[in-house]
Amino acid sequence: MAGIKVLVVDDERDIKLLFEQQFKKELRAGEIEFQFVYSGEEALQHLTGLGGSGIVLILSDINMPGMNGLILLKALKERYSQLKVFMVTAYGDEANYQAAREYGADNFLTKPIDFAHLKKVMADARNHS
């Protein structure tokens, strides 16, 4: 099975190292490929440059400076409706949760990320794409 391509959008740059550690086995086996951008604006530029090709899942933080994750989610669902978008927040904020659902988020995760759970929902998303 070909690897799944995931775009991670988070203003915290250390997230890259964390994902590489948590998915070491899957990365080595070619089961997953991560691309990292550090703002909502950068995510849209990245996808426009790729024509959206190859990326099947976006993991986006909600609380970022500039374009926050909810604005990004709305733009992604308008432009790339086929993409699965999982929203990530450090806060158990009901208003953000409701807005993310309303804007079409496919899943909602809280920080610190439970990577066992993330791997499971990513596998489910890949199996249903």
Residue tagged 């959206």 (tokens): 52
- Residue 85 CA to residue 72 CA, distance in Å, equals 10
pLDDT at 1 over 60: no
The pTM for the full model equals 0.92
pLDDT averaged over every residue in the chain: 90
Query: What are 48-105's pLDDT values in tens digits?
Result: 887 656 898 999 999 999 999 999 999 999 999 889 999 998 766 788 888 999 999 9
CATH number at residue 21: 3.40.50.2300
- Residue 102 CA to residue 84 CA, distance in Å, equals 14
Q: Tally the domains of the chain.
A: 1
Q: Which comes out higher in pLDDT, residue 98 or 19?
A: 19
**Residue 74 belongs to what domain range?**
4-127
The answer to whether 73 and 102 are in contact (CB under 8 A) is: no
